[in-house]
Each structure stands twice: as C-alpha cells, then as structure tokens.
Structure 1
Amino acid sequence: MNIFDKPYFPLDYFSYEVFVRCPNCNGKGKVTTAKGGYFDERNKSAKFNCLDCGHTSPSEEEWFGYYMGYIGFDYKGRACAHCGSVFQKVFEKTQVPYKTGLAQCPVCKQEREYEINWYRYKGETPTDPFFGLDLFYQKEVKNGLLWIYNLEHLSYLRDYINSTIRKREAVGQSSMVAKLPAFIISSKNKDAITKQLNAFEKEIRKTCANTV
C-alpha cells in the first residue's frame, strides 16, 4: 500500500533547480535560483551554468523560449480604432515576436493592423520558467512527452503516480498534479512512466556524482 500524503505543490515549487539544454553547445546545463520566496524574487536570482562548456548567464535578461502576443482589450485598455469597442485577439506562440498583427473588430467588422503586446510564455511546457530553455530530461513515453526539472520533482511525481491512497484534501487547480496530462496518470501507463523516471534518476545521480 503506497500512501501519498505530501502537500499539493504547484510546479513552480520545484523550479529552484532545472536541468536544461545549453543554448551555446546543446549540452547539459542547469538553471538555479532560491528555493524559497516569491517567484518574482526567484526570477531576479536565476542563474544558468552549462556543465559541459561552462557558458553562464547571471540573470533572466536572456529569454530563449516562446512569447504570447495579445491585442485589443489588455492592460493598456485598447479598443477598436474605428468604433471604440473593446475586443481581444490572441496570437500563436512564437520565439520571434513581430511588431504588428491584423485583427478584425467583432462589432464593426473593420480590419486593421494593431501593435502587438508580447509576453514571455511560461506555461507548463518542457522549458524552464526563467530562461525558456528546453529541458534536458524529456522523453516520449506512451504517446506523450514526459519531462522533469530535477530529482525532487521526479521523486514527487513518481510517488504520486504509484500511490494507491492519496490524502483527502483539496488539490487545487494551481497544483502540479491537477495539471498532469492523462497519459501520465493512466494506470495502464504507470509501469512505463515509472521505468523512464527511474532512468532519468540514474542519469541525474551520475551527473551529480561527476560534478562534485
């Protein structure tokens, strides 16, 4: 009988250490920041270091990930340039932002170019939340992409999917487990997921031993 009685942490909880692909050599790197504190404070203290080529970056000034673009009703209070109606358009994620985009007002049907506001996309994707770098430990398993940040994240996920009893408390929509894809929590995939997590753990422990 495996009992899961840990707190239901958000994914951000595990982001104090994230193994990533180096943007310089494509080798194994690590993003580190303060384990506790608010996420904004951790943003400012985030550092990247490549374990292979030695490339470093002292802050999150560099962003290698995706951006989400918005026009219309945003924090600037924009509206249709023709009739003044508020509306919103969301553009597809991109790693190369562009200045303007075409949008049609749903009220007056007038179409024109608007300046786009771009924001760093930090959704639950296989990238680190500070630099947007691709995670080093990710692999296709059972038609889904399995990925982890570090050993604690790995252990927490493995304990959860292998538990037969989970404590009865509100999970909350912001918790990591509430956002797990179906292929990970499917009982028929448990052995395959666990096997890959064990393989990740072996690799990480080897890396840690070699960098001591």
Structure 2
Amino acid sequence: MKFEYRFLSEFMTEFLVKCPNCDSKGVVATSFKDTWQASFICITCSSHRLWSGNSSSFVTAHSNYDQYDGILSGPAVDCFFRYPLWYQAEYKGNVLYAYNLVHLNWLRLYLEAKLRERVQTLNGWSNQSLQSRIPQWMLIAKNRAAIIKKIKALERK
C-alpha cells in the first residue's frame, strides 16, 4: 500500500489525556493563529484550563525542560499542559502512544499494511514525515502482531 506523507503536527489539533484531578479522560483542543492556543476540559469532573504560549515552535523533550513555558513535544504527554496521554501502553520497555483516535487508527493501518511504500513528493523524500519517524521496535515483524493487538485494545478504551 502506498502511504502519502503524514506529519505528527497533523494530529495535534486534539489530545485525549488523563485528567490530573480525577484520572478520567480529558480533551486538550488546540488552535493556531499567530501562536498556539490550547484548552483542557475533563469529561468527568469538568476541570478546565487555558494555555496561551509565547511560542509558535516546538521543543523536543530530550532534556528536562520544566521551566520552559512554550510548546514541549515529548513522548506520552500533550505538548501544552504535559498531561499523560489517554492512549498509551507499554510494550517490552517501550511506550506506544497516540494523541487521539485518528492518530491511533493511522498507526494501526500503517502497521497492518503488508507493504508500506513511501511516495516521493515534488520536493523529494521527506525525512520529517511520520512514516520515517516510527520507532524501529514497532516495525520489527516479530513485534507487529502484539503491537497491533495493543493498539486495538487502546481503540476500545
């Protein structure tokens, strides 16, 4: 199957997260107009919070950025409030995560495909695409069935 390039930022309009107050499912909705804006609301306890950053760019969380008030992109948390993602599971010491159900569905379809051909664009090959950034442990054939099973379980969550 030929997959058109997708980028992680395409899935960053909504994050399903664990509420810091009651551990239930919450939603972080985002928008971009000159800078990023985000709002959080818990479906269960109605807890809410607004975020307005001074940045329109993302910093990758490879270090401790506790004092950084911009957009922090790191594993298994939303980029704005840094709440744990709702869709996450452990697999052999690695964390499988998705921002929302659309992201999770895309991962499942990509991993289920028998042949994953990348399509070259007018600008050539994209090394920043989501396809080129999937961790190797997810792509290993012997792991694939178990990972897809975990994804299906997360989809039912």
| Match among 145, 161, 164 for residue 95 of structure 2 | 145
2:156 alignment partner, SS class: helix
Superposed CA offset, 1:3-40 (max 9, x none): 2x342111110111211121223322111134xxxx56
Query: Are the aligned partners of 1:68 and 1:94 in contact in 2 as well (CA < 8 Å)?
Result: no
Please give the alpha-carbon distance, in whole angstroms, between the structure 2 residues aligned to 1:180 and 1:154: 13
SS in 2 for 1:165: coil
Equivalent residue letter for 1:145: V
The structure number with the bigger radius of gyration is: 1
2:36 counterpart of 1:43: yes
How has the CA–CA distance of structure 1 residues 161 and 183 changed in structure 2, closer, same or farther, with 3 Å as cutoff? same
TM-align CA RMSD = 2.7
Q: How does 1:71-86 map to 2 (within 5 A)?
A: none
Q: Taking structure 2 as the reference length, what is the TM-score of the superposition?
A: 0.79
Distance, in Å, in 2 between the alignment partners of 1:191 and 1:40 is 41
TM-score by length of 1: 0.61
1:196-211 matched pairs, under 5 angstroms? 196-203=150-157
Question: 1 CA distance for matches of 2:89 and 2:23?
Answer: 16
Q: Unaligned stretches of 5+ in structure 2?
A: 54-58
Q: Which residue number corresponds to residue 129 of structure 1? A: 79
The equivalent residue for 1:77 is: none
- 2:135 aligned with 1:181, yes or no? yes
CA distance in 2, matches of 1:23, 1:120: 20
Contact 1:48 1:58 in 2 (8 A): yes
Instruction: Write the distance in 1 (CA, Å) between the matches of 2:137 and 2:8.
Output: 18
The answer as to 2:153 corresponding to 1:156 is no
User: Unaligned stretches of 5+ in structure 1?
Assistant: 62-66, 70-90, 98-117, 204-212
Between the aligned partners of 2:142 and 2:153, the Cα distance in structure 1 is 19
Which residue matches 2:149?
195
- SS for the counterpart of 1:125 is coil
Number of residues of Structure 1 aligned to a counterpart in Structure 2: 148
1:172 aligned counterpart, secondary structure: coil
